[in-house]
Amino acid sequence: MKTYLLAAACAVILGTGMAGPGPFAAVAQSPQTLSEAAYEALLAEAKAHENPVDYDAALTSILNRSDLSDYQRGKTLFERATRRWKDGMDKLGALDDFEAILAIDANHPFANNAKIEKGWAEDEIIWIEQQHEDLQTIAEWFDGVFSLGRHDEAVARYRKSGISPTPVQVQTMMAFGYICEDRPDAPKLHQFGPERPDLANLHWCGPAAAMPGPDKAPRLLTASAPATGSPAPGDGKNAAARKDEAQPAIAVAGP
């Protein structure tokens, strides 16, 4: 009996890392839970998408399942949150995912990493929100708002302005389905200024041009931020000093 208890205790200790589900998954699942083999196959299929938009949709599809164990749900949330944050496609959504992991179980294998990356994401969101208090070009404003996940609002303001997006922003909006090729029935992307060859045959194809309200409620993280304009400390680091740890704000690869 003593040998059995000692072996069980060692198994619990060794199973708390992030290499695999360990005993956490065995406790937090029922007989109807998706098998680890089937789950890993779904995750591998999702990761095969090079386009972050398709990858995010595939992970969301997994999360919509009702047969995930707590370990599987937390791992999928962590995958989606990290990608949303680092790709700069939905930082507010990433924050929600990190918080959802912590809500599953404080001892979840991904809880510690979720807490750390949540602090980094909060720093960046604060920095972005504070930049909006200064004068910005529409391109600068778009990069910040779009990276927060307020996509419809950011795109609608660009459409309403008549100003042409930058080449990188064009690729981003094409990946998200806001800009289409060869759609003569839709408004042309280029409205004013010198012709740009890269905008030829490109048209707006997303939501209506009228500027809507935010499609994500502001988190108001700046409420307790310093008045100096520097990001509030989340993990003791400054967001500007972590540029080598995160991807550019808008860096979405094409399909």
The region, left, alpha or beta by phi > 0 then psi within -120 to 50, assigned to residue 168 is alpha
State mean pLDDT over 17-45.
71
72 has a pLDDT exceeding 50:
yes
pLDDT in tens, 37-55: 999 999 999 999 988 889 9
pLDDT in tens, 106-122: 899 999 999 999 999 99
5 three-class SS: helix
> How many residues are present in the chain?
255
Are 120 and 246 contacting, i.e. CB atoms less than 8 angstroms apart? yes
State mean pLDDT over 4-9.
42
Please report which confidence band the pLDDT of residue 191 belongs to, taking 50, 70 and 90 as the band edges: confident
State mean pLDDT over 74-91.
93
* Whole-number percent of the chain with pLDDT over 70: 68
16 has a pLDDT exceeding 50:
no
pLDDT in tens, 200-244: 889 998 654 433 444 444 444 443 333 334 343 333 333 333 333
Q: Which is higher by pLDDT, 24 or 131? A: 131
The chain-wide mean pLDDT, for the chain, equals 75
CA distance linking residue 120 with residue 243, whole number of Å: 11
pLDDT in tens, 159-183: 888 889 999 999 999 988 899 988 7
Dig out the tokens for 72 from the structure.
Answer: 């599987």
DSSP line for 181-226? ES-TTS-BS--SSS--GGGTTEEE-SS-SS----SS----GGGGS-
Are 157 and 204 contacting, i.e. CB atoms less than 8 angstroms apart? no
Are 153 and 141 contacting, i.e. CB atoms less than 8 angstroms apart? no
166 three-class SS: coil
Output the pLDDT for position 183: 78
Are 130 and 229 contacting, i.e. CB atoms less than 8 angstroms apart? yes
DSSP line for 30-85? -TTSPPHHHHHHHHHHHHT--SHHHHHHHHHHHHT-S---HHHHHHHHHHHHHHHH
155 has a pLDDT exceeding 70:
yes
Q: H-helix or E-strand containing 179? A: strand 179-181
> What does pTM read for this prediction?
0.68
